[in-house]
Amino acid sequence: MTHVWTADLIAPDQDFAGAPLLRKEFDLAAGHGDVVAATLHVTAHGVVEPSINGAAVSDEVLTPGWSSYEWRLRYRSYDVTPLVAEVSVLGLALGNGWFRGRLGWSGRGAFYGSELAGLAELHVEFTDGHRQVVGTDTTWQAGPSATTANDLYDGQTIDARLTSTAWTAPGADLTGWVGVHAVEHDAGRLQPYVGPPVRRHEVLHPVKVWTSPAGATLVDFGQNLVGWLRFTVRGPVGTEITLRHAEVLEHDELGTRPLRSAKATDRFVLSGGEDVFEPTMTFHGFRYAEVTGWPGELTPDAIEAVVVHSELRRTGTLECSDELLNQLHRNVVWGLKGNFLDVPTDCPQRDERLGWTGDIAAFAPSAAYLYDVSGFLDNWLADVDLEQQHADGLVPFVVPDVLKYVDAPSDFPAPESTAIWSDAAAWVPWALWEAYGDREALARHYPAMTAHARRVEGLLSDTDLWDTGFQFGDWLDPQAPPDDPIKAKADNGVVATACYYRTLRQVSAAAEVLDRTDDASYFSALADRVHSAFGKHYVTDGGRITSDCATVYALAIEFGLLDGADRQGAGDRLAELARANGYRVSTGFAGTPFVTGALSSTGHLDDAYRLLLERECPSWLYPVTMGATTVWERWDSMLPDGTINPGEMTSFNHYALGAVADWMHRTIGGIAPLAPGYARVLVEPQPGGGLTWARGGLDTLHGRIETSWSIDGNRFQLDVTIPDGVAATVRVPGEDAVEVGAGKHHYATSLA
């Protein structure tokens, strides 16, 4: 329920190193009986940690996350009934977060404002029905915390000598505290959370602690993760422990160059007593940490890594007989966790961590299988919608769009619709529709889908091709020079026109679902025009496509731009190119999610498996053989000789190239939606690549779908579980499809 706010947004009269505390002491209204319910509504400019009488109000962190603050600031509402007492202290600890901290590579922060501020309203209800409201106003006070520096990119400094809980108790000595002032703001921006909050998840312990050749104490957590370090320590007062984080080692030392300007450094000054350290106003993408200043010897049991991301329910699983593929799949899962921290980001570690639209456009179908991401992405799409509404239908490169505030480098393109990136406005809602079948969610984002489609219509050439203007195109084509990732083999017009065609098909299908018949026929007619322009200008007889590289065939086949002999010819050519390239991947952001599907759907399943199972660089498994525990930004983020790719952008945690998981789910696990929300499912595992067994599982709205197949000699067996409410089409290799309903089904056949 939307809360109607009466409180003021308040800022401290002094900034207190960017981590002020706000405090209000109050008496519960007397004479009204017991407290029946108490609810706290809270948000901030910055991040906020609310407490009542010293107790944390919730275990959520980094609230209120990052939204397009200009138009939408989310708040949380907590049941705090057990926390209120006759005399109570309501406290808010603030930090810079996304609101005022650094964002992007420009070195700048404070894009949304220069002042941190808190907004809270405590509603207490008594037995006799009386209601008491304690809200932020100018009677509050502000004081310093033990955090003396905090930034999402650079890290947090906590001086335990300043740690005190006294301020949370009634009657505290508030020497040094100051007043607060109300901050003008548009209360119309305040909205409850749509998606999930951010929480702590796994806790990982070091697998190794050692001294590097340069004499540094290094810790390996065995997993590239996103979160922070936590420990309890005792040492001489004033001792400073410094923690630097990195995803990889290079030359046996911490490899921090990929972080660019992000310092990713936490500092902790000891009080002399027993101190607990947990920097909750930052986060790092790391597997390794360098610990300096630890009192005595650092042992593995002394320190732990806390994994932090949005609360998401795991729904989809896949396992098979190939351990490298299983590791690849785990890497995809960890890539999702690390980059689903309130906003779907490109990467979680360097001075970027932005909601790049193209990355999630590629990855959304894989994500929607692995986890229930409906709320998370619905929330992000709300910002896509808002950004777009304020930019004449333009879907920006990143959402929330902070780049609009940055003086773009001279070589940076002016904002305009670009294929894949802007297509996120259609592809992401469509992926959610396929996975969850939520018509209302589709309707919510339908205006954004159509606004994008219409804007691009205005960018088409007279030929009906989208062949002018800036494109990221097949970004990060592995054959592009490391410092020029935009120089792809694939023709930009082919890529953009193909992607636009896919968008138009989705938009017209969405219009049909939503009974917008005029739109449906308009966009489907436009799609037909683009289709024939594509054929006329880019396809020659036999399915050859302009720029003749894997990406253009993958897109044309998978997006339905070719028929009959052309389609088969394109598939054959794609297989030929794959073979000629020694089954090394030759596609970038555009082609990679679709290349295996284009092969398997044109009769080249073996080639698809060979591509997937290739270990030489560039390939999906090369990073796995190099010990990767997340999906890398570049196929060769780490070069075979163990040095880091010299490119400016070298992340070791980028989910985009992990979009192959979608094909793995459909083809190895054999689970693909035939109707939105899996009301009908295609169960068609396609064994290959020497796999001897695989198991897939997916929690759908209707219940869990499970598959399990194995091969013994030439005998193929498949067990399928279909929940009530789901109709399945099951196809085993070499047999006709059969239609089945709920229940457990067993199939066996002999492979040719």
Which residues are part of the catalytic machinery?
352, 633
Q: How far is the CB of 361 from ligand BGC (least distance, A)?
A: 9
Q: How far is the CB of 415 from ligand BGC (least distance, A)?
A: 13
Q: How far is the CB of 418 from ligand BGC (least distance, A)?
A: 9
Residue number with CB closer to ligand BGC (367 or 613): 367
Strands 35-45 and 47-52 turn out to be unpaired
Residue number with CB closer to ligand BGC (484 or 518): 484
- Token digits for 8? 């003021």
Residue number with CB closer to ligand BGC (89 or 362): 362
For 626, which DSSP code? T
- 471 to 500, contacts with ligand BGC by CB under 6 A? 472, 475
Q: How far is the CB of 77 from ligand BGC (least distance, A)?
A: 34
**Span near ligand BGC by CB under 6 A; candidates 213-221, 228-236, 355-363, 691-699:** 355-363
Residue number with CB closer to ligand BGC (20 or 358): 358
**What are the backbone angles phi and psi of residue 637, rounded to the nearest 5°?**
-55, -40
Q: Does 358 bind ligand BGC (CB under 6 A)?
A: yes
Can you say how many angstroms the Cα of residue 693 is from the centroid of all Cα atoms in its chain? 30
**Span near ligand BGC by CB under 6 A; candidates 32-40, 172-180, 185-193, 648-656:** 648-656
Q: How far is the CB of 143 from ligand BGC (least distance, A)?
A: 39
Residues 6 or more apart whose CB falls under 8 angstroms from that of 475 comprise 358, 420, 485, 486, 488, 588, 589, 590
Q: How far is the CB of 616 from ligand BGC (least distance, A)?
A: 24
Q: How far is the CB of 263 from ligand BGC (least distance, A)?
A: 19
Name beta bridge partners: 133: 123
Closest CA to 219 of 309, 286, 128: 286
Q: Does 649 bind ligand BGC (CB under 6 A)?
A: yes
Tokens 């894989």 label which residue?
A: 366
Q: How far is the CB of 427 from ligand BGC (least distance, A)?
A: 14
**Span near ligand BGC by CB under 6 A; candidates 251-259, 316-324, 345-353, 624-632:** 345-353
- Token digits for 124? 């207490």
Residue 24 to residues 17, 139, 143, 174, 421, Cα–Cα distance (Å): 20, 8, 11, 12, 46
Residue number with CB closer to ligand BGC (153 or 356): 356
Residue number with CB closer to ligand BGC (33 or 413): 413
**Span near ligand BGC by CB under 6 A; candidates 273-281, 351-359, 533-541, 621-629:** 351-359
Closest CA to 700 of 684, 679, 718, 715: 679
Interface map 652-691 toward ligand BGC (x if CB under 6 A): --x-x-----------------------------------
Provide DSSP, 647-695. Answer: SS---S---GGGGGHHHIIIIIS-EEESSGGGSEEEE-----TT--EEE
Interface map 456-475 toward ligand BGC (x if CB under 6 A): ----------------x--x
Residue 310, H or E segment: strand 303-310
Residue number with CB closer to ligand BGC (112 or 356): 356
- List, in sequence order, the alpha helices (H) in 308-423: 323-339, 357-370, 374-389
Q: How far is the CB of 202 from ligand BGC (least distance, A)?
A: 25
Residue number with CB closer to ligand BGC (347 or 507): 347
Residue number with CB closer to ligand BGC (380 or 709): 380
Q: Does 372 bind ligand BGC (CB under 6 A)?
A: no
Output b/e per residue, 343-381; b: 16+ Cβ within 10 A: bbbbbbbbbbbbbbbbbbbbbbbbbbbbbbbbbbbbbbb
Size of the site for ligand BGC (CB under 6 A): 11
**Span near ligand BGC by CB under 6 A; candidates 409-417, 436-444, 649-657, 707-715:** 649-657
Output b/e per residue, 658-673; b: 16+ Cβ within 10 A: bbbbbbbbbbbbbbbb
Out of 347, 382, 530, 577, the only residue in the binding site for ligand BGC (CB under 6 A) is: 347
Residue number with CB closer to ligand BGC (159 or 247): 247
Out of 60, 121, 266, 359, the only residue in the binding site for ligand BGC (CB under 6 A) is: 359
Q: Is 730 helix (H, G, I), strand (E, B) or coil?
A: strand
Q: How far is the CB of 486 from ligand BGC (least distance, A)?
A: 7
Residue 669 to residues 431, 598, 657, 698, 702, Cα–Cα distance (Å): 19, 18, 19, 10, 18
Output b/e per residue, 485-505; b: 16+ Cβ within 10 A: bbebbbbbbbbbbbbbbbbbb
Q: Is the peptide bond before 400 cis (omega within 30 degrees of 0)?
A: yes
Q: State the Cα torsion 206-211-213-216 to the nearest 10°.
A: 90
Structural contact between residues 552 and 566, judged by C-beta atoms closer than 8 angstroms: no
Q: Does 607 bind ligand BGC (CB under 6 A)?
A: no
- Token digits for 314? 């795991």
Structural contact between residues 543 and 570, judged by C-beta atoms closer than 8 angstroms: yes
**Span near ligand BGC by CB under 6 A; candidates 50-58, 269-277, 289-297, 346-354:** 346-354
Q: How far apart are CA 252 and CA 141, in angstroms?
A: 49
Q: Does 259 bind ligand BGC (CB under 6 A)?
A: no
Interface map 9-48 toward ligand BGC (x if CB under 6 A): ----------------------------------------
Q: Which residue is nearest to ligand BGC (CB)?
A: 346
**Would you tell me which residues interact with ligand BGC (CB under 6 A)?**
346-347, 352, 356, 358-359, 472, 475, 649, 654, 656
